């Protein structure tokens, strides 16, 4: 943009900047998916369906691209999953005519690998009594109020419902996250099993906010053959959801991680703000908007916008390795 065009855009900057033509965007994504399937020499698409808006939109796009008979929805609950996720996932499959869907309860596999016990053993370094009947989650400090450091806290709830918030040592934090990441990696293993037996491609479901900020597990939910909505801001995903006919119950549901035993929103776990305001901050940063324009659009102060931008930059730097493939000593020219 020229200096004057940036000024003009800044003067009128609002959530309408994120608006897309859902019909045209759907057509573009569907065409890309069909071309990718031909390039990959795959005959269909498989995806894990969580009952969230991202996997729901990806299901609808997959059906349009490959036909409902060539789409497999896999539901993968585990011991800490919200039962509503499975019922909503099944509703998605019915809505878009996907008859071929499978429930894979990964709880026993995670139990056998020690996922839950490994996690609990790290929690017990802070809460010795932690065990059956307890629940937990990880939350972050509010980036709008902090000093630039992303501090994570452990929240535990005892069997009587009393909650306690605790500062974690790096060892405890990394241990809990490492054990919890087994969930995403196990799910992806199941998806690729079904993809291999059917000669299907695996869909990854991150939106742009998640993809940009590294909100995924490497070789877990970050692994996929195609990622059809990674270029779309979360607000734009909701536009497509309405256009494609994703059930309103799913579109109204707050985005959650559905990973920890205590209910947890994406905002308290990873992002500084609700998705609609995060989208405005990220879009403004990506398009060179002044902080004053973003602040007015997102109902923030300029200082708060700068803090969010600093948090975005920090997460980009910290999670860059998630986007990298294996590092080689030298390029193998024959397959580069």
Q: Distances in Å between the alpha carbon of 9 and those of 282, 312, 318, 322?
A: 15, 22, 31, 33
How many CB atoms within 10 Å of residue 39? 10
Beta bridge partners of 256: 265
The one-digit pLDDT tens for each residue of the chain (336 residues) are 555 455 555 667 998 999 999 999 999 999 999 999 999 999 999 999 999 999 999 999 999 999 999 999 999 999 999 999 999 999 999 999 999 899 999 999 999 999 999 999 999 999 999 999 999 999 987 667 655 556 889 999 999 999 999 999 999 999 999 999 999 999 999 999 999 999 999 999 999 999 999 999 999 999 999 999 999 999 999 999 999 999 999 999 887 778 898 987 777 668 878 899 999 999 999 999 999 999 999 999 999 999 999 999 999 999 999 999 999 999 999 997
Residue given tokens 């707050």 in the structure block: 254
Please name the helix (run of DSSP H) or strand (run of DSSP E) that holds residue 184, with its range, or none: helix 170-198
Helix (H) or strand (E) holding 266: helix 266-269
Cross-strand partners of 138:
154
Question: Could you tell me if 25 and 18 are in contact, meaning their C-beta atoms sit under 8 angstroms apart?
Answer: no
Alpha-carbon span 98 to 318, nearest angstrom: 38
| Residue in 120, 138, 119, 116 with CA at minimum distance from that of residue 129 | 120
Supply the Cα-derived Rg of the chain in whole angstroms.
21
Helices (H), 96-166: 107-113, 115-123
Element (H, E) at 284: helix 275-286
**pLDDT at site 257:** 76
* pTM, entire model: 0.92
35: exposed, middle or buried (Cβ count in 10 Å: 0-12, 13-18, 19+): exposed
Rounded distance between C-alpha atoms, residue 209 and residue 278, angstroms: 8
pLDDT at 131: 95
Secondary element (H or E) of residue 249:
helix 248-252
Helix or strand or coil: residue 24? helix
Residue among 264, 209, 205 at smallest CA distance from 234: 209
> How many angstroms separate the first and last alpha carbons of the chain?
34
Q: What are phi and psi of 174, to 5 degrees?
A: -65, -35
Q: Coil, strand or helix: which one is 154?
A: strand
Strand order in the sheet with 45-48: 101-103, 71-75, 45-48, 201-202
Residue 306 to residue 290: CA distance in whole angstroms: 10
- Number of C-beta neighbours around residue 27 at 10 A: 12
pLDDT the model gives residue 130: 97
- How far apart (Å, rounded) are the C-alpha atoms in residues 28 and 30? 6
């Amino acid at each position: 943009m020229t200096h004057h065009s940036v000024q003009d855009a800044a003067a009128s900057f609002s959530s309408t900047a994120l608006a897309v033509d859902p019909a045209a965007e759907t057509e573009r994504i569907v065409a890309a998916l069909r071309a990718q399937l031909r390039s990959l020499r795959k005959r269909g698409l498989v995806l894990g369906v969580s009952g969230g808006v991202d996997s729901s939109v990806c299901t609808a796009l997959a059906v349009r691209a490959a036909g409902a008979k060539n789409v497999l929805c896999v539901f993968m609950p585990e011991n800490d999953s919200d039962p509503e996720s499975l019922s909503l996932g099944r509703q998605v499959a019915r809505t878009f005519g996907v008859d071929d869907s499978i429930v894979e309860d990964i709880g026993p596999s995670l139990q056998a690998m020690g996922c839950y016990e490994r996690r609990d053993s790290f929690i017990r370094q802070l809460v010795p009594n932690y065990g059956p009947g307890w629940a937990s989650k990880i939350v972050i400090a509010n980036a709008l109020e902090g000093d630039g450091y992303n501090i994570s806290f452990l929240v535990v709830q005892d069997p009587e419902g009393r909650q306690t918030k605790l500062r974690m040592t790096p060892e405890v934090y990394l241990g809990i996250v490492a054990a919890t990441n087994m969930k995403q990696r196990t799910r992806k293993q199941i998806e690729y099993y079904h993809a291999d037996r059917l000669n299907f491609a695996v869909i990854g479901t991150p939106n742009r906010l998640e993809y940009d900020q590294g909100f995924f597990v490497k070789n877990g939910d970050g692994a996929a053959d195609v990622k059809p909505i990674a270029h779309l801001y979360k607000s734009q995903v909701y536009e497509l959801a309405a256009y494609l006919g994703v059930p309103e119950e799913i579109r109204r549901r707050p985005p959650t991680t559905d990973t920890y035993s205590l209910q947890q929103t994406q905002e308290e776990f990873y992002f500084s703000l609700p998705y609609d305001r995060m989208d405005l901050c990220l879009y403004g940063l990506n398009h060179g908007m002044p902080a004053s324009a973003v602040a007015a659009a997102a109902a923030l102060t300029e200082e708060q916008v700068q803090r969010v931008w600093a948090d975005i930059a920090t997460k980009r730097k910290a999670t860059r390795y998630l986007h990298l493939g294996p590092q080689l000593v030298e390029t193998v020219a024959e397959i580069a």
